[in-house]
Amino acid sequence: MKKVKVKLHFPRKWLGRPLISELITKYGIVFNILHADISYDSEGTLIAEISGDDDSVNNALAYIDSVDVKYKLYNKSIIIREEECIDCGACTAVCPSEALTMDSNNKLRFDKEKCLVCELCIKACPLKIISTEF
């Protein structure tokens, strides 16, 4: 089993094949879209989590490489020094993916699965307790 987080970069006026359904049918992987910002007239990005057995994931990535779409693997992840967190919520203001939210008890909740590693929260935290880990 392998699970990777990737950012796909679609060129402007992408007229390629229906990439995602191809990946799913050809390689039997699970393709979970975390964030998409694509339109015909401009460059687009799509952040997704691809999982499946090792070979399928590797082959799927190789296939993406062979078409006109570039991809970048996320090898970092966000860590929050939770014991120092005061639950102020400033980081939730900038988080584009709802990875950081306030729960009904006004406590910070971090959903790692949804994180796009955009690093916006690192600067937004007034206590500077968010960082990345390789």
Partner 1 sequence: MKTVAEINERIKNGRAVVATAEEIIEIAEEQGYRKAAEMVDVVTTGTFGPMCSSGVFINFGHSDPPIKMQRVTLNDVPAYAGLAAVDAYIGATELSTTRGMEYGGGHVIEELVAGRDVRLHAEAHGTDCYPRKEIDTTINKYNVNQIYMYNPRNAYQNYPAATNSTKRTIHTYMGTLLPEFGNITYSTSGELSPLLNDPYYRTIGLGTSIFLGGARGYVTWQGTQHNPGQKRAENGVPVSLSGTLAVSGDLREMSTRYIKAAIYDKYGISLFVGIGIPIPIIDEEMLAFTAVRNSGIITSIADKSGNVRLDETFTYEQLQSGSVEFRGKKVKTAPLSSIGRAREIAGVLKEWIEGGRFLLTEAVEPLPMENKINKLEIRGIV
Q: Report how far apart, in Å, the C-alpha atoms of 98 and of each of 41, 89, 110, 118 are.
A: 27, 12, 9, 12
Cβ of residue 133: shortest distance to partner 1, in angstroms?
21
**Which of partner 1, ligand SF4, none does 129 bind, CB closer than 5 to 8 A by kind?**
ligand SF4
118 near partner 1, rule: CB under 8 A: no
81 near partner 1, rule: CB under 8 A: no
Phi/psi for 89 (5° steps) reads 95, 0
Identify the sign of the CA torsion 111, 21, 118, 75: positive
97 near partner 1, rule: CB under 8 A: no
**Which of ligand SF4, partner 1, none does 115 bind, CB closer than 5 to 8 A by kind?**
ligand SF4
Cβ of residue 86: shortest distance to partner 1, in angstroms?
5
| Nearest residue (CB) to partner 1, 112 versus 128 | 128
The rounded distance, in Å, linking the Cα atoms of 83 and 105 is 17
The rounded distance, in Å, linking the Cα atoms of 24 and 26 is 6
